[in-house]
Amino acid sequence: MGNCIEMDSLTPPEVENANVESLNLLPERTKMLYQKTYDESVAWCAGKLVVRYSEFVLLTSFSEISEKGSIALLWPKYSMLRSTLCIHHDLDLSN
């Protein structure tokens, strides 16, 4: 799916890891929420025997969340998951 942050040949090596380090810039409580959302997604995927994230997988996951009555949580969860999937799986959901 391509890089989350476009790198060009002029990018110094010490800057290329900024994507991973960006999670460390969050306040501890916020970082815990992001990690919890990511962990819940990983657990959901493991329970469904999903081996690779895709748009269909995420839509199915969010559909189940909305069926539980947590509609207000969809956007924050999507936003947190988008960031953590970018960091942990180099998956860009911005398009």
- Left (φ > 0), alpha (ψ -120 to 50) or beta: where does 38 sit? alpha
Residue corresponding to tokens 């990511």: 38
Residue 7 lies in a domain: no
Quick one: average pLDDT of 74-86? 88
The pTM of the full predicted model, rounded to 2 decimals, is 0.72
Residue corresponding to tokens 């380090």: 21
* Number of domain units in the chain: 1
Contact criterion met (CB below 8 Å) for 73 and 65:
yes
Residue 9 lies in a domain: no
- Left (φ > 0), alpha (ψ -120 to 50) or beta: where does 2 sit? left
Residue 66 lies in a domain: yes
Residue 95 lies in a domain: no
Structural domain boundaries, residue 42: 18-89
Please write the tens of the pLDDT for every residue from 28-77. Answer: 888 899 999 999 999 999 999 998 888 889 899 999 888 887 788 888 99
